[in-house]
Structure 1
């Protein structure tokens, strides 16, 4: 593995030296590839334009990130920014000059890449959704073929940029981002074929959230009992990150787990709340869709500004869960209900 890791470090150094002027671009690519973008930006848009695609986005993102967490614990992959300092592969004083950036110091294991995997999941769903819409509209064969080639070309371009950004940031080795892309596509394909997710009951949402959370925590406790420390990477991050303020609790495995489980639970609450059932048919008009998308995005950006102290880890994880749940409840139920009340109130007033 040391030889494979050394090749990855060489590529990272090459990217950092050749594309040093594009640091902001690669930072943006990594930021956009984070599943936070899916929950706070992409989901409200797709949910109101094409509800089944919005639901599939969340299920694929949550299941994919949960699997990513489990795989990271099993594979226990290194990260370049700490491996280069601890390996005995290089002679003394010959370690490559690997740079670090504000988003380099991830605290979890490195394999597979969560950003590459999440981006693959989400973009696979969006590309297949657009192609499905084109097929339903009876798009001419030649135009459909061109659209298909263009969208899949865009998909692989996006993945290439995301993978390059993660290697450039010294957060991942090349083989880790490749593994992330392949695993993400497989997860998206499998979950997308599961038709029951579109009609899942509140009990199913609760049960799946509980089971996934319990399995991850139980797996952690089991391995800890066997003497395996799954938080070994946190010590390495704290030791080798050049700036302590670059280490964030929200990049830890448990923070990611609670955010995703909160998102899934929030989706279930939104889909099965009484107010959602009351506005489901009324919110089908174009005006209400546009209004719901616009207001939801605005409110979610405000919610995104809500941050909390990480001094107490338990409270931090609970608040992360609640914030993620509310972020899904806003576009699915709260905003459409309020808009329907406003529009229906005006209509009733005119009828009087």
Structure 2
């Protein structure tokens, strides 16, 4: 495995040496691939354009990331930026440990396999591309549809390639980790394209699903801990080998990711079954829809500026859960409900 990892490190060195001028592009690709962009940017747009697509995006993103967490605890993947210092591979023979550059988004604290960014980007973009193609199939002539097929699948391939290259360039992942992430992400998205009950799930089902996923992850962690498996070994290595301590963020730990995703899923269930959402469904005008879309994006950017201290980890995790749930609730129910009453009040006043 060390030899396999060494080949991955060679690719990291090659990318950093030959494509160093594209650092900002790679950094942007990693940022867009983060599920934060799905929850705070893609979801508000898709939910108000096509509700079912928005719902599917949340399920694919949250379940996919939960699966990614469990797989990381099982596979114990290394990360290049610490592996080059921990391995004995370069102490044998004339080979010297390569000097890998680090960046503000390099020092992820969880295990590396499979890549969560690659997995999330593949799953989310697969949903968006297949949705656009299904719409095009209904409204476009055959020749135009074939052109759109080539263009959109090429776009998906380009986005996934850029994300994979960015994660390797940043020395956050080995090549095999991003490839496996892409494959698993597309499988998750394809499975949820065939699941219909998520569009009519009750609030009780959302609550039970959230509790089950959370309980399973925590129980699995406790079980592995009882068996003597140290699941915090990656945090120690990140703190040890990251060149700048401020680049090691608590919000990149497995439990922070778990609580954010569970908050997102619960917030979706809460929003879809809120009386405010029921009122929102009565307003179907394009102006109302566009107002909800733009307003949601603006409010979520304001909410995104809300950060929490990591000194108290339990409080940090709880606030992360609440922030994620609030973001989805704002998009699905709170803002649409408020705009509905504002439009209704203006109509009554004019009457």
TM-score when normalising by structure 2: 0.98
Aligned 8 A contact 1:60 1:192 in 2: no
- 1-side partners of 2:98 and 2:88: how far apart? 13
Match for residue 174 of structure 1?
175
Match for residue 74 of structure 2?
74
Aligned 8 A contact 1:112 1:180 in 2: yes
1:310 aligns with 2:310: yes
Question: For this pair of structures, how many residues does the alignment match?
Answer: 349
Match for residue 94 of structure 1?
96
Runs in 1 of length 4+ with deviation above 6 angstroms?
none
SS in 2 for 1:227: coil
Aligned 8 A contact 2:16 2:169 in 1: yes
Could you list the per-position Cα deviations for residues 253-295 of structure 1 after superposition, in whole angstroms to 9, with x for gaps in the alignment? 000000000000000000000111122122x210001000011
SS in 1 for 2:90: coil
Match for residue 124 of structure 1?
126
The correspondence of residues 249-288 of structure 1 with structure 2, limited to 5 A, is 249-282=250-283, 284-288=284-288
2:105 to 103, 106, 123: 103
1:136 Cα shift?
A: 2.4
Could you list the per-position Cα deviations for residues 72-120 of structure 1 after superposition, in whole angstroms to 9, with x for gaps in the alignment? 0000000000000011111377101111111100000000000000000
SS in 2 for 1:306: coil
Match for residue 24 of structure 1?
24
- 2-side partners of 1:44 and 1:86: how far apart? 43
1:319 aligns with 2:314: no
- 1-side partners of 2:187 and 2:238: how far apart? 30
Could you list the per-position Cα deviations for residues 169-196 of structure 1 after superposition, in whole angstroms to 9, with x for gaps in the alignment? 0000000000000000000000121000
1:15 aligns with 2:15: yes
Match for residue 299 of structure 1?
299
1:220 Cα shift?
A: 0.2
Q: CA RMSD in A?
A: 0.8
- 1-side partners of 2:208 and 2:279: how far apart? 25
- 2-side partners of 1:8 and 1:160: how far apart? 16
- 1-side partners of 2:142 and 2:324: how far apart? 42
1:336 Cα shift?
A: 0.7
- 2-side partners of 1:78 and 1:182: how far apart? 19
Aligned 8 A contact 1:81 1:100 in 2: yes
- 2-side partners of 1:155 and 1:167: how far apart? 19
- 1-side partners of 2:210 and 2:304: how far apart? 23
SS in 2 for 1:229: coil
SS in 2 for 1:103: coil
Aligned 8 A contact 2:279 2:340 in 1: no
Match for residue 4 of structure 1?
4
- 2-side partners of 1:296 and 1:278: how far apart? 17
1:44 aligns with 2:49: no
SS in 2 for 1:289: helix
1:224 aligns with 2:220: no
Match for residue 35 of structure 2?
35
1:344 Cα shift?
A: 0.9
1:142 Cα shift?
A: 1.3
Structure 2 gaps of 5+ residues are none
Match for residue 151 of structure 1?
152
SS in 2 for 1:90: helix
- 2-side partners of 1:104 and 1:308: how far apart? 21
